[in-house]
Amino acid sequence: MTRIKDLSPDEMPKERLMQSGAQALSNTELLAILINTGSKGRSSLDIASTLLADCKTLKTLQDISFHELITFEGIGISKSTTLLAAFELARRLNYKIDKNTSQMIKHPDQIADILYPQLQFENQENFIVFILNTKHQIIHQEILFKGTLNSAIIHPREVFKIALKYSAHAIIVAHNHPSGDPLSIV
CA 17 – CA 132 distance, rounded (Å): 42
Residues 122 and 90 in one domain: no
CA 149 – CA 86 distance, rounded (Å): 25
Residues 20 and 91 in one domain: yes
For 34, the domain range is 4-95
Q: Under a CB-based contact definition with an 8 Å cutoff, are residues 112 and 185 in contact?
A: yes
Residues 118 and 89 in one domain: no
Interval 47-68: pLDDT, tens: 999 999 999 888 889 889 999 9
Domain count, the chain: 2
Angle formed by the axes of helices 27-35 and 77-95, nearest 10°: 120
CATH value at residue 118 = 3.40.140.10
pLDDT above 70: residue 124? yes
Give the DSSP letter of residue 151: -
Could you tell me if residue 100 is inside a domain? no
Q: Under a CB-based contact definition with an 8 Å cutoff, are residues 131 and 162 in contact?
A: yes
Residues 13 and 88 in one domain: yes
Q: What kind and span of H or E run contains 174?
A: strand 170-175
Residues 91 and 113 in one domain: no
pLDDT greater at residue 110 or residue 98: 110
Residues 87 and 112 in one domain: no
pLDDT above 50: residue 100? no
Categorize the per-residue pLDDT at 183 as very low, low, confident or very high, splitting at 50, 70 and 90.
low
CA 82 – CA 171 distance, rounded (Å): 38
CATH value at residue 86 = 1.10.150.20
Give the DSSP letter of residue 169: S
Categorize the per-residue pLDDT at 6 as very low, low, confident or very high, splitting at 50, 70 and 90.
confident
pLDDT reported for residue 95: 57
The set of residues, in sequence order, having a beta carbon less than 8 Å from that of 185 and lying 6+ positions away, is 111, 112, 115, 116, 119, 174, 175, 176, 177
